[in-house]
Amino acid sequence: MSFGYQVLGFGAGSSAAKIDADYLVIGGGSTGGIRHGGGGGAGGYRTSFPGGTKQTFESPITVTVGAGGTHPGSRGATGVKGTDSSFVTGATTFTSAAGGMGYGHGTYSTTLGNGGSGGGGTHNGTTSGGSGNTPPTSPAQGNDGGDSDSSAGGGGGGGASTAGAVSTGGTGAPGGSSSSNSITGASVARAGGGGGGSYQTRAQSSGGGGGATGGTNQDTASTAATANTGSGSGGTGADSAVDPLPGNGGSGIVVIRVPAANDPGSLAIAPGTNSISTDSPTGDKICTFTVDGTLSF
């Protein structure tokens, strides 16, 4: 139920301005793993649009946009997790978790593959795909990463719509599918899982769409996932000379859509990298955060 814009006066228990609005919050995507590594998991995907329960926002709103996982450049074996996206309004903190890293050939904490969507498992089945929807939300914010069988290919990273696929026969598996949403006025696919890497000359695997990237083979680095999609990057293969690095995961995004009937006429967003636009023909205000910032009214 939408109560629109309201200012509660003295004696009402609060003086904060409040509006009811829709939201889309996507965590940062993670990188794939190295040496037949699993694909990176997509950031958690949480939205009320269309048809969900609106959030009551209290001014000012503090927004954090999760970064995509960024590999440090050393040729280790692990993927790198992104960071969470969130907004804070009044006493409410609403969070979409970063994706789980894609597992690689090495020794590391297996919990790092868990996240909004899970990272793909490493080759030879030594580490299973990570768990999605971690921590749990309802509806679920993501899906599990795919496993690998006893051969040299990585599982696909989980995506917003489906789990990452299982690698068989030494070929990296496709990442889980992204999800499309028109909260900005146009349908955009986001939060796809990265594809798993393959052994030497075996076929490369595909990403899960929506900004995700495919896994690679031999000495080829995977490409970076698209910024502000929360998608995972692909795992990489290996040969006798070099372990190629995975590309970066996609940064997240936060969108707050204020219905025209609830528009207080005083929306202000900061910094200027973020934006407010008007949807046509509804007249709803679209407040889009691609970096950390605030929204006030």
Summarize pLDDT for 184-226 with one digit per residue, the tens.
Answer: 999 999 999 999 999 877 778 999 999 999 999 877 889 999 9
Distance CA 173, CA 151 (A): 12
The DSSP code for 87 is E
User: What average pLDDT score do residues 51-69 get?
Assistant: 97
**Structure confidence at residue 46 (pLDDT):** 98
The pLDDT tens digits of the residues spanning 72-95 come to: 766 655 689 999 999 999 999 999
- Listed range (22-26, 63-67, 110-114, 192-196) with the worst mean pLDDT: 110-114
User: What average pLDDT score do residues 120-124 get?
Assistant: 85
**Structure confidence at residue 283 (pLDDT):** 97
* pLDDT-derived band at 182, boundaries 50, 70, 90: very high
Distance CA 64, CA 25 (A): 10
CB 81 within 8 A of CB 99: yes
4 pLDDT higher than 50: no
**Structure confidence at residue 12 (pLDDT):** 40
DSSP 130-192: PPSSSS--SS----PPP-B-SSSBPPPPP-SSSPPPPBBTTBPPPPPP-EEE-TTSS-EEE-P
Look up residue 133 and give its two tokens.
Answer: 């929807």
Greater pLDDT, 122 or 291: 291
**Structure confidence at residue 169 (pLDDT):** 86
- Listed range (170-184, 201-215, 235-249, 252-266) with the worst mean pLDDT: 235-249
- Listed range (5-9, 46-50, 178-182, 192-196) with the worst mean pLDDT: 5-9
How far out from the chain centre does Cα 81 lie? 10
CB 246 within 8 A of CB 274: no
Radius of gyration of the chain (CA): 20
The pLDDT tens digits of the residues spanning 127-140 come to: 899 999 999 999 99
Greater pLDDT, 219 or 239: 219
Q: Where are the alpha helices (DSSP H) in the chain?
A: none
How far out from the chain centre does Cα 191 lie? 5
113 pLDDT higher than 70: yes
* pLDDT-derived band at 6, boundaries 50, 70, 90: very low
- Listed range (179-193, 217-231, 239-253) with the worst mean pLDDT: 239-253
* pLDDT-derived band at 2, boundaries 50, 70, 90: very low
Q: How many CB atoms lie within 10 A of CB 6?
A: 16
